[in-house]
Amino acid sequence: MKKMVISLAVSAALVVATAASAATTKIGMITTLSGGGSHLGIDVRDGFMLATEMANADLDVIIRDDARKPGIAKSLSNELIQKDKVDILTGIIWSNLAMAVVPSTVRGGTFYLSPNAGPSALAGKACHENYFNVAWQNNNLHEAMGHFMKAEGLKKPFILAPNYPAGTDALTGFKSRFGEAEGEIFTTLGQKDYAAEIAQIRASNADSVFFFLPGGMGIAFMKQFASSGIELPVYGPAFSFDEIILGAVGNSAIGVKNTSQWAYDLDNAANQKFVKAFRAKYERTPTLYASQGYDTANLILSALKKAQPSDKSAFRSALKSADFESVRGSFKFGSNNHPIQNIYVREVVAVNGKKPTNKLVGVAISDLQDAFASQCSL
């Protein structure tokens, strides 16, 4: 396990703080920086830190690597809360890690802001006033694709996802808008060989494939599917087709349509500023994970202008107001502290002979609120 601690007082350049003043907010970031899927955590971290730098924010940010292991994430959260006395936790990528950390964190009085994982349990009956999801509820992007594929006239999709909370939420969300699928498979989290699953797709009567396989899982599946000779249109959420994955998959992803709450070519001033700054600092195009980290930091900074985390009621209200310019455009929190937002369709295209990239196509669903808000008692 790697550990990384960054205590930052962000000015025109990053300066290591020798000591935090009493007013300095302490933020603990637990995210995946090593092992499979580490580019997700790296982009969340980089987007978050970019926002603090651009705002000249006075924050102490302590960054830890969870190595995608629930036990490590839980141990780190205890250390950050009990030893480091952080005011806010954030950063977790994977839903099984979120379920290991978030419930006890928020019950204990520490704020948790999710820049990614949005398990259904935390949106419904287990919602909490100290928990805010700044990205999406797990089902959302999959719901939107189910809606889009049905509108496109597809009848028999073959669907697959890993067997963990985000995977079950994914296929539940898809079917809630599309209906039943021609075939359905839950794969092993972290799986790299998809020969058996591809054989089942080949033997089916499917007219399309929908898959949710984030990080390296998506790279492995897409390469193997492309070489299989099966000629079916492929759809999925942005998690399976972010810019890092496209760089690894190459031209086999061209033509794939995917859903996202964000696109780097969304035409709004906040997004244009973010994309330009991210490319200048990190020399790569941001993924949706970077956009989520960036928005999470800006939400925190907007709330700190109104209240301090020590005044929990006032800070909670300041977070709820979401008084910042989101890179995704229109955005607000629903009654369960999860986003109400547009979900867009993007298509993977090749531009001027360069590596494939995502191009915004249109809106899949406007002002989508998750299906679990009515179960939340807030």
pLDDT of residue 2: 44
Same fold, 8-136+266-333 and 140-260+342-375: yes
Q: How far apart are CA 204 and CA 91, in angstroms?
A: 39
- The token pair that represents 35 in the structure block: 């092992």
Q: How far apart are CA 186 and CA 156, in angstroms?
A: 17
pLDDT of residue 120: 94
Write down the pTM of the prediction. 0.91
pLDDT of residue 215: 84
Give, in order, the Cα–Cα distances in Å from 171 to each of 71, 167, 186, 239, 322. Answer: 26, 7, 9, 14, 29
pLDDT of residue 213: 93
Contacts of 312 (CB under 8 A, 6+ apart): 109, 111, 130
3-state class percentages of the chain: helix first, strand second, coil last, to nearest 5: 40, 20, 40
- The residue-averaged pLDDT of 334-352 equals 95
The answer on pLDDT for 10 being more than 70 is no
Which sequence spans correspond to the domains of the chain? 8-136+266-333, 140-260+342-375
Report, at the CATH architecture level, how domain 8-136+266-333 is classified: 3-Layer(aba) Sandwich (3.40)
pLDDT of residue 355: 87
Q: How far apart are CA 146 and CA 281, in angstroms?
A: 36
Going by C-alpha positions, the residue among 277, 319, 276 that lies closest to residue 301 is 319
- The residue-averaged pLDDT of 367-374 equals 96
The answer on pLDDT for 7 being more than 60 is no
CATH number for the 140-260+342-375 domain, one of 3.40.190.10, 3.30.470.20, 2.60.40.10, 3.40.50.2300?
A: 3.40.50.2300
The answer on pLDDT for 235 being more than 60 is yes
pLDDT above 90 covers a percentage of the chain that reads 88
- The residue-averaged pLDDT of 134-156 equals 96
Dihedral, CA of residue 109, residue 89, residue 237 and residue 203, to nearest 10: -80
Q: Are 44 and 27 in contact (CB under 8 A)?
A: no
Q: How far apart are CA 376 and CA 59, in angstroms?
A: 32
pLDDT of residue 96: 95
Report helix, strand or coil for 216.
Answer: helix
In this structure, of 36-40, 266-270, 313-317, the range with the lowest mean pLDDT score is 36-40
Q: What is the pLDDT of residues 111-132, one digit of tens each?
A: 999 999 999 999 999 999 999 9
Q: Are 101 and 77 in contact (CB under 8 A)?
A: yes
Instruction: Give the residue ranges of DSSP H helices in 239-370.
Output: 243-249, 269-282, 288-304, 312-321
The answer on pLDDT for 259 being more than 80 is yes
- Write down the residue that tokens 């492929």 correspond to: 234
* Confidence bin at 58 (pLDDT 50/70/90): very high
Q: Output phi, psi for 139, to 5 deg.
A: -70, -20
Mean pLDDT over the full length of the chain:
93
Q: Output phi, psi for 367, to 5 deg.
A: 50, 50
pLDDT of residue 1: 46
Q: How far apart are CA 209 and CA 213, in angstroms?
A: 12
Going by C-alpha positions, the residue among 235, 229, 77, 230 that lies closest to residue 170 is 235
Q: Please give the angle made by the CA atoms of 303, 304 and 310, to the nearest 5 degrees.
A: 105
- The residue-averaged pLDDT of 320-331 equals 96
Contacts of 90 (CB under 8 A, 6+ apart): 27, 28, 29, 30, 48, 112, 113, 114, 115, 296, 300
Per-residue HEC secondary structure of 312-329 comes to HHHHHHHHHHCCCCCCCC
- The residue-averaged pLDDT of 251-267 equals 96
The answer on pLDDT for 16 being more than 80 is no
Report helix, strand or coil for 237.
Answer: strand
- The residue-averaged pLDDT of 19-32 equals 78
Q: How far apart are CA 323 and CA 315, in angstroms?
A: 12
pLDDT of residue 14: 39
The answer on pLDDT for 332 being more than 70 is yes
The radius of gyration of the chain's CA atoms, rounded to the nearest angstrom, is 20
Q: What is the pLDDT of residues 76-90, one digit of tens each?
A: 999 999 999 999 999
CA–chain centroid gap for 356, Å, is 21
Q: Are 111 and 28 in contact (CB under 8 A)?
A: no
The answer on pLDDT for 169 being more than 60 is yes
Query: Residue 341 pairs with which residues in a beta bridge?
Result: 331, 368
